[in-house]
Amino acid sequence: MSEVAIGGPSATELSFTRKAALVIVGVGVLAFLAMLVLGAYAPDFRSGRNGGAHALSNAVTGFSGVVRLAEATGRNPQVVRSLDQLESEDLAVITPERGDVDLTDILEWRSSRTTLFVLPKWWTQGDPKRTGWVRVAGVRPTDDTERVLAPAYPLKVRVTRSGGPLRTVPDHAPSEMRFRSPLALQTVSGKDLRPVVTDSAGRIVLAQVGARQLYILADPDLLNNRGMRDEGQARAALAMLDFLNSTDADGILFDVTSNGLGAARSPLKLLFEPPFLSVTLAIAAALLLAGVQALTRFGAPRRPERAIRFGKAALVDNTAALVRRARREVQLGYRYAQVARRRAATLLRLPPSLPEGELDARLDQVRTSGAPFSELATRTERASTREELTIAARGLHQWLKELEA
């Protein structure tokens, strides 16, 4: 059908103005981007304030105090949420909360790197009045604590009443590494343990496992939030971390994967981190430019073409398209030969009443560069395929052109 000019609706008749449409699209794009970012970083947004004994906990048994203190003093602490982040020469502090926590993967990742395991000590219950706070119900059973590093490193744990100063065994330890014992002191013993910090009776509080860079802190009160309330204990804790981290490391790793706060590596997160961030920004810029181009007209608008064009050429093209679609091209050979014969008779001023055979005989007397007319006409009339018809019709057309010349 032909195109019909219809007047466009006025601005007041439109459902949405251009400005309203832009606002809707902009809000949708921002909401989609926010969803992507939240989906990528959702595991990192978990605060971990569940009253546990880990680096994100503000509870009395947590270790967020030493993390903040290390950050305030330029020691570059990092909370580790995936095992691949443990592949570093920095000191890693592991704080399992129960004896049944599987530490096999962590031991494999940290096989030759400096690692401090802090044993659990306290049995706690959540405070119903304050979220993230706990109430200490008592000392955890020692048989549970002894299973933390078993069976690779069997330990014997003991809790005794103390309260005096602790002794640092290595002579090269810093002078600030001087702890005071909590009233209930948890100590450890076992095969191939080399004492680093002991109580007055020689019971081990901080031990090195053989010649490896693996250390065990038996009493977490030397490092947790309870201990960080005291300035002297806090100073000694930082000195201990520096002493263990004496391999020119860049920071301290505080693991929370053993506390159930780990997060798998997200492919979506890679879109917002170097080096893939540059690709994301390039794609965003390309989409923005495409949107601007879609909203802005460049040059004069093109008028749409008619479905059916005017003129004889358009009529011929449309007729040819119908014949082609109906697969009737071959049947047009006889008609074309008749048209060519009448055209030739008109050019030579031959009587129209001549029989077809006599007319062909006279046309054959015309000298041309190709075959005689009767032969060309016969080929055109008897063509059985589209290709044969095309070749024969071209020959007949060329004969007519030479005749007209």
Q: Report the range of poorest mean pLDDT among 37-41, 107-111, 280-284, 318-322.
A: 37-41
Whether 8 shows a pLDDT value over 50: the answer reads: no
- pLDDT band with cut points at 50, 70 and 90 for residue 327: confident
Q: Quick one: pLDDT at residue 254?
A: 94
Whether 300 shows a pLDDT value over 70: the answer reads: yes
Per-residue pLDDT reduced to its tens digit, 342-394:
888 888 888 878 888 888 888 888 888 888 888 888 888 888 888 888 888 89
Pairing of strands 115-118, 214-217: parallel
User: CB neighbours (10 Å) of residue 290?
Assistant: 10
Overall pTM surpassing 0.85 (yes/no): no
* Average pLDDT, rounded, for the chain: 84
Which range of 18-22, 222-226, 399-403 scores highest in mean pLDDT? It is 222-226
Please state, in angstroms and rounded to a whole number, the distance separating the CA atoms of residues 195 and 184.
19
Q: Quick one: pLDDT at residue 33?
A: 79
- Between 173 and 268, residue with greater pLDDT: 173
Q: Quick one: pLDDT at residue 330?
A: 81
- Report the pLDDT averaged over residues 215-233: 93
Burial zone of 36 (CB within 10 Å; 0-12 exposed, 13-18 middle, 19+ buried): middle
8 Å CB contact between 396 and 377: yes
- Between 374 and 328, residue with greater pLDDT: 374
Q: List domains and CATH numbers for the chain.
A: 18-41+269-295 (no CATH), 47-260 (3.40.50), 312-404 (no CATH)
Tokens found for residue 341? 């014969």
Q: Identify the three-state secondary structure at position 398.
A: helix
Amino acid sitting at position 189: S
Q: Quick one: pLDDT at residue 41?
A: 63
Residue 151 φ then ψ, to 5°: -90, 0
- Report the pLDDT averaged over residues 88-117: 91
Whether 238 shows a pLDDT value over 80: the answer reads: yes
- pLDDT band with cut points at 50, 70 and 90 for residue 172: confident
Q: Quick one: pLDDT at residue 44?
A: 58
Q: What is the per-residue DSSP string for 248-301?
A: T-S-EEEE-GGGT---PPPTGGGGGSTTTHHHHHHHHHHHHHHHHHHHS--SSP
- pLDDT band with cut points at 50, 70 and 90 for residue 276: confident
Q: Quick one: pLDDT at residue 6?
A: 42
Whether 66 shows a pLDDT value over 60: the answer reads: yes
Q: Quick one: pLDDT at residue 261?
A: 78
